[in-house]
Amino acid sequence: MGAPIIEIVDVGKSFGGRTGPTEALRAVSLSVDAGEFISIIGPSGCGKSTLLRIVGDLVEPTSGVARVNGKSARQARLDRDYGIVFQTPVLYDWRTVLENVQLPLELAGRPRQERDARPLALLRLVGLEAFRGHFPWQLSGGMQQRVSIARALALNPSILLMDEPFGALDEMTRERLNLELLQVWSASAATALFVTHSIAEAVFLSSRVVVMSPRPGTIDRIVDIDLPRPRLDKIRAHPRFFELVTTVRESLREDPALAAGDDAGRAI
């Protein structure tokens, strides 16, 4: 096995504010190997989104360093190594579904032929080829997020960053999209970093689940998910699935800030 594809070393992040700086992350270190699917889970305010943004060079760490593909996160972003899926689909409403997926290829100045062919193939992959001429508002929330996933894969990125992409969706849609995401992801060569606050989602998708606790955000525990792949819906009924869900849930409970109750945590 070669060098890790994502290397987070001793990363800290403080945000300035009127009442003094808030420490969002403290001494976070994590290595991710190529082809892994890593979920980051934790209560709100644990800095999981901030950590994802530091890896994607959308936020600068106050201390420490994030290295991706053996280079700085900044260089990886400039080399367009990332595909990002945000909490909201962030589709441009003046572009059709197809044109939204074409955007990254346009920005990268890819040749016309690729700009036409690749987005169509991706839309086929997420089952939305028939909607290529539609505008975003004509699609449901789940469909919009699938378009956003297709767009994230447009440049065939080595890193796929996802920030609670299914958080706003209903449970049934979420489970279906989890399954679809796994199919799409396994067809790509991307390493995935996935932020979520759903335990079942994290266990279902991941090769490892990173459990974080807040104030300041630190990594409590990393749970190896040894469920076989390809994972289908029926794995949700597997005893091992329940065991792992319980392990992750207990790791979250051990968190002293949570155990003391959320209000106590807020008062600190």
- Binding interface with another protein (CB under 8 A): 56, 58, 77-80, 82, 84, 86, 88, 90, 92-96, 103-104, 106-108, 135, 137-138, 155
Closer to another protein at the Cβ: 77 or 118?
A: 77
The Cα 140–Cα 142 span in angstroms is: 5
How far, in Å, CA of 109 to CA of 122, rounded?
18
Which of 144/251 has CB closer to another protein? 144
Quick one: tokens of 122?
A: 């991706």
User: Which residue lies nearer to another protein by CB, 92 or 242?
Assistant: 92
- For 168-188, letters b (16+ CB in 10 Å) and e give ebeeebbbebbbbbbebbeeb
Q: For another protein, which is the closer residue by CB, 54 or 223? A: 54
Least distance CB 136 / another protein (angstroms):
9
Dihedral, 189, 93, 52, 141 alpha carbons, nearest 10: -80
Of the candidates 178, 155, 183, the one whose C-alpha atom is nearest the C-alpha of residue 166 is: 178
Residue pair 92/134 in contact (Cβ under 8 Å)? The answer is no
Sheet holding 71-72, edge to edge: 22-32, 6-15, 63-68, 71-72
CB of 135 to another protein, least distance (A): 5
- Of 136 and 265, the one with the shorter C-beta distance to another protein is 136
Residue 1 CB, nearest distance to another protein (Å)? Answer: 28
Nearer to another protein, 9 or 135 (CB): 135
Q: Which tokens go with 192?
A: 């995935």
C-beta closer to another protein: residue 151 or 215 = 151
- The sign of the dihedral angle between the CA atoms of 60, 220, 32, 164 is negative
Cβ atoms of 157 and 82 closer than 8 Å: yes
C-alpha distances in Å from residue 86, one per residue of 40, 89, 200, 249: 14, 6, 20, 25
CB of residue 104 vs another protein: minimum separation in angstroms? 5
Smallest separation (angstroms) from another protein to the CB of 95: 8
- If the CB atoms of residues 56 and 217 are measured against another protein, the closer one turns out to be 56
CA distance 135 to 128: 12
Give least dist CB 33 to another protein, A: 23
